[in-house]
């Protein structure tokens, strides 16, 4: 994973040398995402800059990727997990071993649905010098970030992170997940649309637990594609432990040659972080012992987290309370991981959105309401957990991969009736996933109660943040919050504090509008409020604040 920067629709007479220097300077703002190499492509109509984090084919996969005849230039942030299958089916004259070069092959084959053929996480900008055409696209869920906007001269700019466009584009906005833009038609089109979004399509379909398990194991296997040292994030909760269990199963063989040779790094390393005595550190240690990983548990102090907070907000580019709480320990963990020479990690994001893992799902009144809320959560995931995992890790040049969001796995996991996912009445959240993996983990891990990451690193973290914000934000300032921040006015002093820090780095209404309104948890969902009106009054997005559910939920 890397970063991309593009400048399109350049004008005749533009000073290309000056624009190249500007593009390089703006791209440098996101170079933490790709510290290994920088590549630039310049033509009279376009400039592409790529900051590379070399994961696959580090020797020859530098970008922008050019077709052999020089017609195409491609800058990609991401990984294409099915690139070998696509490569085998193509007669394109490949110039590198890069997984991303299959995008050029699909384009030249005239595949109008090329983005839909990719199983991976990606944001790309492709230039066709022969037809003077460009395409911009983002992966189905939005795991990889992407922003776009226009400069004062009307040129279209695109970048992996907001910081590269802030102060340059007055209309900066997030490029929507699952969409592709084609300059030939001027159309922004949603290419990713799955039948399972409609509950009527999946209604009555029973869950096949064996197929669910196989699909997830295959997703993890695909995503172990790497030519550099890697590891897994392990909190000791269900999701990260399942990822680690599957990765441990495949770690000894090299995925790139169909498991025929020994892996270059056969011992699986796992990583966790928390305050002294945190629930996650203890649970992660137990999980690591059960799985046989080489485990690294790191302790951080509240003061260290507080010191990092401004930089965290600058990197993750949001003022959402839950996201910032959870991003800070993840940011600190990424720095530790980077120091150990690891460049890629597998993580458990997406499971809660697919299986209804949040505690408020216990209140769902029907399978249809449950399913519709899952779809809503998946649609919003790019603004919260995907953003947190990607930007917190990539702040230090560590690539996070998320096998629960593998598109083939999602088709299986979202393709059966949500009646089999429902919790409550003594049935634990995500019971169908736990049942599918019986025997893969000790019961104390397989049936561990749900914790939000920001809770699991230590309850003192959230309580300390609230106290700090209370001391920093006066009653008078908070009373005038709506006047200072008319868009998404903060509802708590903690939210006000984060918003003020965000504004220092990203001033202006367009930047503020890139962050969704409301709170990122149950309380902000109209459906959840309908399930239980008490959610409407809960201002604190901690899992502990989901009234009554945390204590009532119990193993099946």
pLDDT exceeds cutoff 60 at 518? no
Q: Is 99 annotated in some ligand binding site?
A: yes
Q: What is the pLDDT of residue 544?
A: 52
Read off the pTM: 0.94
Question: pLDDT band for position 13 (50/70/90)?
Answer: very high
Task: Collect all residues with Cβ–Cβ distance below 8 Å to 541 and sequence separation of at least 6.
Answer: 321, 322, 325, 519, 520, 521, 523
Question: pLDDT band for position 530 (50/70/90)?
Answer: confident
Do residues 275 and 460 lie in contact, with contact meaning Cβ atoms separated by under 8 Å?
yes
Task: Return the percentage of the chain with pLDDT > 70, whole number.
Answer: 94
Q: What is the pLDDT of residue 453?
A: 56
Instruction: Tell me which CATH homologous superfamily contains domain 3-193.
Output: Aminohydrolase, N-terminal nucleophile (Ntn) domain (3.60.20.10)
Query: CATH 3.60.20.10 spans which residues of the chain?
Result: 3-193
pLDDT exceeds cutoff 50 at 50? yes
Strand locations in 275-331 (E): 294-299
Q: Which of 2, 100, 144, 169 is catalytic?
A: 2
Residue 103 half-sphere exposure toward CB, CA atoms < 13 A: 37
DSSP secondary structure letter of residue 361: G
- Phi, psi torsion values for 54, nearest 5 degrees: -80, 110
Question: pLDDT band for position 67 (50/70/90)?
Answer: very high
Question: pLDDT band for position 540 (50/70/90)?
Answer: low
- Phi, psi torsion values for 374, nearest 5 degrees: -60, -45
DSSP secondary structure letter of residue 226: -
Identify which has the larger pLDDT, 190 or 537: 190
Among 26, 477, 450, 554, residue whose Cα is nearest residue 238? 450
- Phi, psi torsion values for 71, nearest 5 degrees: -70, -40
pLDDT exceeds cutoff 60 at 549? no
Q: Is 233 annotated in some ligand binding site?
A: yes
Q: Examine residue 64 and say whether the peptide bond preceding it is cis (omega within 30 degrees of 0).
A: yes
Question: Is the domain covering 197-463+476-551 a CATH 3.40.50.170 domain?
Answer: no
Among 121, 318, 326, 309, residue whose Cα is nearest residue 237? 326
Assess whether 2 carries a catalytic annotation: yes
Least confident interval from 56-70, 219-233, 417-431? 56-70
Least confident interval from 91-95, 174-178, 256-260, 537-541? 537-541
Degrees, nearest 5: CA angle 386-388-391: 95
What torsion do the CA atoms of 467, 468, 471, 472 make, to the nearest 10 degrees?
Answer: -150
pLDDT exceeds cutoff 70 at 293? yes
Q: What is the pLDDT of residue 520?
A: 45
Query: CATH 3.40.50.620 spans which residues of the chain?
Result: 197-463+476-551
Q: Is 273 annotated in some ligand binding site?
A: yes
What torsion do the CA atoms of 116, 117, 122, 126 make, to the nearest 10 degrees?
Answer: -90
pLDDT exceeds cutoff 50 at 555? no
Give the end-to-end CA distance of the chain in Å, rounded to a whole number: 40
pLDDT tens per residue across span 343-368: 999 999 999 999 999 989 999 999 99
DSSP secondary structure letter of residue 140: S
Least confident interval from 73-82, 220-229, 260-269, 413-422? 260-269
Q: What is the pLDDT of residue 64?
A: 96
pLDDT exceeds cutoff 50 at 123? yes
Do residues 42 and 67 lie in contact, with contact meaning Cβ atoms separated by under 8 Å?
no
DSSP string, 482-509: HHH--SS--SSHHHHHHHHHHHHHS-SH
Task: Collect all residues with Cβ–Cβ distance below 8 Å to 93 and sequence separation of at least 6.
Answer: 67, 68
pLDDT exceeds cutoff 70 at 553? no
Residue labelled with tokens 């106290």? 467
Sheet containing 269-274: order of strands = 294-299, 269-274, 230-233, 344-346, 399-401
Q: What is the pLDDT of residue 556?
A: 38
Do residues 177 and 122 lie in contact, with contact meaning Cβ atoms separated by under 8 Å?
no
Q: Give the distance, in angstroms, between the CA of residue 292 and the centroid of all CA atoms in the same chain.
A: 27
Q: Give the distance, in angstroms, between the CA of residue 136 and the centroid of all CA atoms in the same chain.
A: 19
pLDDT tens per residue across span 145-170: 999 999 999 999 999 999 999 999 99
pLDDT exceeds cutoff 70 at 435? yes
Q: What is the pLDDT of residue 554?
A: 44
Give mean pLDDT, residues 184-207. Answer: 98
Considering the chain, what is the average pLDDT of its residues? Answer: 92
Give mean pLDDT, residues 41-61. Answer: 90
3-state SS class at 326 = helix
- Report, in this order, helix, strand and coil percent for the chain, each rounded to 5: 45, 15, 40
Task: Return the percentage of the chain with pLDDT > 90, whole number.
Answer: 84
Identify which has the larger pLDDT, 530 or 498: 498
Q: How far are the Cα atoms of 32, 205, 476 from residue 480, in angstroms, in the given order?
A: 37, 52, 7
pLDDT exceeds cutoff 70 at 539? no
pLDDT exceeds cutoff 60 at 523? no
Strands 399-401 and 344-346: parallel
pLDDT exceeds cutoff 90 at 199? yes
Helix axes 321-339, 493-505, angle to 10 degrees: 60
Give mean pLDDT, residues 268-290. Answer: 94
Q: Is 445 annotated in some ligand binding site?
A: no
Exposed, middle or buried: residue 350 (CB in 10 Å: 0-12, 13-18, 19+)?
A: buried
Exposed, middle or buried: residue 288 (CB in 10 Å: 0-12, 13-18, 19+)?
A: buried
Radius of gyration from C-alpha coordinates of the chain: 23
């Amino acid at each position: 994973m890397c970063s991309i920067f593009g400048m399109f629709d350049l004008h005749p007479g533009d000073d290309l040398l000056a624009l190249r220097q500007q593009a390089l300077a703006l791209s440098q703002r996101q170079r933490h995402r790709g510290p290994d190499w920088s590549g630039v492509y310049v033509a009279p109509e376009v400039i592409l800059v790529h900051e590379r984090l070399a994961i696959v084919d580090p020797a020859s996969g530098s970008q922008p990727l050019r077709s052999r005849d020089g017609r195409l230039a491609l800058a990609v942030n991401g990984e294409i997990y099915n690139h070998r299958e696509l490569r085998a089916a193509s007669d394109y004259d490949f110039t590198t071993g890069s997984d991303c070069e299959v995008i050029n092959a699909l384009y030249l084959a005239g595949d109008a649905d090329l983005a839909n053929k990719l199983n991976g996480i990606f944001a790309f900008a492709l230039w066709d010098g022969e037809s003077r055409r460009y395409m911009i696209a983002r992966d189905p869920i939005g795991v990889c970030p992407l922003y776009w906007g226009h400069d004062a001269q009307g040129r279209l700019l695109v970048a992996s992170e907001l910081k590269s466009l802030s102060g340059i584009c007055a209309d900066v906005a997030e490029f929507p997940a699952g969409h592709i833009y084609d300059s030939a038609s001027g159309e922004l089109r949603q290419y990713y649309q799955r039948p399972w979004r409609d509950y009527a399509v999946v209604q009555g379909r029973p869950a096949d637990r064996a197929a669910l398990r196989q699909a997830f194991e295959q997703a993890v296997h695909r995503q172990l594609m790497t030519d550099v040292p890697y590891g897994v994030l392990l909190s000791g909760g269900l999701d990260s432990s399942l990822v680690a269990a599957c990765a441990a199963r495949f770690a000894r063989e090299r995925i790139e040659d169909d498991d025929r040779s020994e892996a270059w790094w056969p011992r699986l390393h796992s990583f966790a972080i928390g305050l002294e005595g945190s629930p996650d550190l203890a649970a992660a240690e137990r999980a690591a012992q059960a799985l046989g990983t080489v485990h690294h548990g790191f302790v951080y102090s509240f003061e260290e987290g507080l010191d990092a907070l401004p930089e965290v907000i600058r990197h993750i580019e949001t003022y959402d309370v839950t996201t910032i709480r959870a991003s800070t320990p993840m940011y600190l963990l990424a720095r530790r991981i980077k120091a150990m020479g690891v460049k890629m990690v597998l993580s458990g994001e997406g499971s809660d959105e697919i299986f209804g893992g949040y505690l408020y799902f216990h209140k769902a009144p029907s399978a249809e309401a449950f399913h519709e809320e899952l779809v809503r959560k998946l649609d919003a995931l790019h603004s919260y957990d995907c953003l947190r995992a990607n930007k917190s890790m990539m702040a230090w040049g560590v690539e996070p991969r998320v096998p629960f969001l593998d598109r083939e796995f999602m088709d299986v996991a979202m393709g059966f009736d949500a009646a089999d996912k429902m919790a409550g009445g003594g049935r634990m959240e995500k019971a169908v996933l736990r049942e599918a993996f019986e025997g893969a983990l000790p019961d104390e891990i397989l049936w561990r109660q749900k914790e939000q990451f920001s809770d699991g690193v230590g309850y003192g973290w959230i309580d300390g943040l609230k106290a700090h914000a209370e001391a920093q934000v006066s009653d008078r300032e908070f009373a005038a919050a709506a006047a200072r921040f008319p868009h998404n006015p903060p509802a708590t002093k903690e939210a006000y504090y984060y918003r003020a820090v965000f504004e220092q780095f990203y001033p202006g209404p367009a930047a503020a509008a890139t962050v969704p309104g409301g709170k990122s948890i149950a309380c902000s969902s109209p459906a959840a409020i309908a399930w239980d009106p008490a959610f409407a009054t809960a201002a604190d997005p901690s899992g502990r604040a989901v009234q009554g559910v945390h204590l009532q939920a119990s193993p099946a």
